[in-house]
């Protein structure tokens, strides 16, 4: 199952601002973008001006997604939405190329 993630923190809770961009806190805070054996991260895009990161991830269980994102949740708002693959659906219906 695919999920869209929007993770936002504030200037006040930004580890890059508070501890420095090369700090261990930034390393820990952003480690989730590598995924793990349960969650595959397909892409990550940041909008640093608003301290927001967007991602598309794949997992078979929401609890696994929550576990991966737990370190980020303490820094701000994290929204996880299940999404469907529109290209895959179109192909499965036989509509592709028609």
| Residue 15, helix vs strand vs coil | helix
Instruction: List, for residues 2-32, the tens digit of each pLDDT value.
Output: 999 999 999 988 888 888 889 998 898 899 9
User: What is the domain-level CATH number for residue 40?
Assistant: 3.30.70.1060
Q: Tell me the C-alpha distance between 59 and 37, whole Å.
A: 10
- Give the per-residue pLDDT at 20: 86
CA distance 54 to 22: 21
| 45 part of a folded domain | yes
Q: Which domain holds residue 36?
A: 2-92
Instruction: Answer yes or no: is 77 within a domain.
Output: yes
Domain assignment present for 60: yes
The tens digit of pLDDT for each residue in 47-82 reads: 989 999 999 999 999 999 999 999 899 889 999 999
**Residue 97 belongs to some domain of the structure:** no
Cβ 18 vs Cβ 75: under 8 Å: no
Q: How many domains does the chain have?
A: 1
Residue 98 resides in a domain: no
Q: How many helices (H) does the chain have, and how many strands (E)? A: 4, 4
């Amino acid at each position: 199952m695919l999920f869209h993630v929007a993770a936002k923190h504030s200037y006040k809770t930004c580890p890059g601002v508070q501890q420095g961009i090369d700090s261990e806190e930034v390393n820990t805070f952003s480690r989730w973008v590598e995924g793990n054996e349960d969650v595959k991260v397909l892409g990550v895009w940041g909008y640093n001006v608003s301290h927001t990161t967007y991602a598309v991830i794949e997992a078979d269980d929401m609890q696994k997604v929550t576990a991966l994102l737990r370190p980020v949740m303490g820094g701000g708002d994290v929204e996880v939405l299940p999404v469907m693959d529109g290209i895959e659906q179109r192909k499965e219906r036989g509509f592709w190329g028609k």
